[in-house]
A and B are shown apart, each in its own frame.
Chain A
Amino acid sequence: MSEIARHMVAAKPGTRLHSSTVIIVRRVASQLLLYLALTALAAMLLVPLVYMVSTSLKVRGTELALPVRWIPRPVAWENYPETFTMRPFHLYLRNTLSVVVGAMSGTLLTSSMAAYAFARLRFPGRNALFSIVIMTMMLPGVVTMIPTFVIFRNLGWVNTLLPLFVPAWFGGGAFNVFLFRQFFMTLPYELEEAARIDGAGFFRIYSRITVPLSGPIFATVAIFSFIGNWNNFMGPLIYLTSREKFTLALGIQTFRSEFEVRWANIMVAATLMTIPCLLVFFFFQRFFFQGVVMSGMSGR
Chain B
Amino acid sequence: MRKEAFAAYLFLAPCILGLLIFEAGPVIASVILSLMDWDLLSPPKWVGLGNFREMFSKDKLVPLSLFNTAYYTFFGVPLQLAAALGAALLLNAKVRGIRLYRTAFYVPSVTPAVANAILWVLIFNPESGIANYMLSALRLPTFRWLVDPPMAKPAFILMSLWGIGSTMVIFLAGLQGIPEYLYEAASIDGAGALKSFRHITIPMLTPTIFFNLTIGIIGSFQVFTSAYIMTAGGPANATLFYVLYLYRNAFQYLRMGYASALAWCLFLIIALLTAIQFGAGQRWVYYEAELRP
Contact = CB atoms under 8 A, between A and B. Distances in A.
Interface string B112-132: 111101111111010110100
B187 to A, nearest CB: 13
Interface in A275-300: 277-278, 280-282, 285, 288-289, 292-293, 295-297, 299-300
Contacts of A65: 128
Interface in B1-57: 1, 4-5, 7-12, 14-19, 21-23, 25-27, 29-30, 33, 40
Interface string B209-232: 001100100100110110011000
B95 A31 contact: yes
A66 B173 contact: no
Interface residues of A, number: 98
Given A65-B128, A233-B225, A140 B267 contact: yes
A188 interface: no
Contacts of B270: 138, 140
A64 interface: yes
Contacts of A126: 8
A2 B213 CA distance: 44
Given A41-B87, A202-B4, A233-B113, A252 B11 contact: no
B105 to A, nearest CB: 6
Contacts of A124: 5
Contacts of B218: 140
Interface stretch (B60-68, B71-79, B256-264): B256-264
Nearest to A205: B7
B207 A299 contact: yes
B259 A146 contact: yes
A67 interface: yes
Q: A interface, by DSSP: helix, strand, loop or mixed?
A: helix
Contact of A38 (B101, B112, B222): B101
Nearest to A106: B14
Contact of A293 (B108, B118, B173, B251): B173
A146 B250 contact: yes
Interface stretch (A11-19, A74-82, A97-105, A109-117): A109-117
Interface in B103-151: 103-108, 110-115, 117-123, 125, 127-128, 130, 133
Interface stretch (A83-91, A165-173, A212-220): A165-173
B277 interface: no
Contact of B222 (A39, A140, A274): A140
Given A233-B113, A263-B122, A299-B211, A139 B8 contact: no
A153 B29 CA distance: 15
A206 interface: yes
A248 B118 CA distance: 13
Interface string B245-273: 01100110000100110111011001100
22 contacts: A45-B108, A48-B120, A68-B128, A68-B133, A116-B11, A121-B8, A122-B1, A123-B8, A139-B23, A139-B267, A140-B218, A140-B270, A142-B243, A144-B27, A147-B33, A150-B29, A167-B18, A167-B22, A170-B22, A233-B228, A234-B247, A249-B114
Interface of A: 31, 34-35, 37-39, 41-42, 45-49, 51-52, 55, 64-68, 110-111, 113-114, 116-118, 121-124, 126, 129, 132-133, 136, 138-151, 153, 167, 169-172, 177, 201-203, 206, 227, 230-231, 233-234, 237-238, 248-249, 252-253, 255-256, 263, 266-267, 269-271, 273-274, 277-278, 280-282, 285, 288-289, 292-293, 295-297, 299-300
Interface of B: 1, 4-5, 7-12, 14-19, 21-23, 25-27, 29-30, 33, 40, 87, 90-91, 93, 95, 98, 101-108, 110-115, 117-123, 125, 127-128, 130, 133, 162, 166, 169-170, 173-174, 207-208, 211-212, 215, 218, 221-222, 224-225, 228-229, 243, 246-247, 250-251, 256, 259-260, 262-264, 266-267, 270-271, 274
